């Protein structure tokens, strides 16, 4: 299925798989942040808020949702940086590299025979 979508018969390339992984990580942080907001809404009804800190001793009094959204934003920035850097990436042709190594070894054998 990935091969049909990407136009590559082998499926997704290494760079595409890495990009998909970054996007999945970012989306999971957004989902966790939304879940934390909903959890806090239910807990606020039961607790009196004394001091609002990011990570207090009692997590029900904190703002972990902000932490998860910060992680999502940082992951999105990481993904944009990844896209920027991946433009210059050149894959290694293993078949050509192996042929060059074999040729180099044959050349060395000829030099040492003479």
State residue 93's pLDDT score. 67
CA–CA dist 14, 22 (Å, integer): 13
Residue whose pair of structure tokens reads 């997704």 in the numeric block: 12
**Diameter over CA atoms, the chain:** 89
CA–CA dist 17, 15 (Å, integer): 5
Q: Which domain holds residue 45?
A: 2-113
Low-confidence spans in the chain with pLDDT less than 50? 114
CA–CA dist 33, 75 (Å, integer): 13
Q: Which two tokens stand for residue 6?
A: 């990407």
Inter-residue contact 55 to 62 (CB < 8 Å): yes
Our measurement of the distance from residue 77's CA atom to the centroid of its chain's CA atoms, rounded to an integer in Å, reads 11
pTM passes above 0.95: no
Number of domains in the chain: 1
What Cα–Cα distance (Å) separates residue 107 from each residue in 100, 101, 102?
10, 10, 9
State residue 24's pLDDT score. 93
State residue 113's pLDDT score. 60
Q: Which two tokens stand for residue 10?
A: 């082998």
Inter-residue contact 36 to 65 (CB < 8 Å): yes
């Amino acid at each position: 299925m990935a091969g049909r979508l990407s136009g590559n018969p082998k499926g997704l390339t290494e760079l595409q798989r890495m990009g998909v992984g970054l996007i999945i990580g970012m989306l999971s942080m957004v989902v966790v942040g939304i879940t934390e907001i909903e959890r806090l809404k239910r807990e606020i009804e039961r607790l009196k808020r004394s001091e609002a800190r990011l990570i207090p001793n009692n997590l029900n009094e904190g703002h972990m949702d902000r932490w998860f959204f910060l992680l999502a934003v940082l992951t999105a920035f990481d993904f944009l940086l990844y896209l920027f850097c991946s433009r210059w990436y050149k894959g290694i042709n293993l078949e050509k590299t192996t042929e060059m190594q074999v040729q180099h070894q044959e050349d060395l054998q000829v030099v040492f025979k003479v």
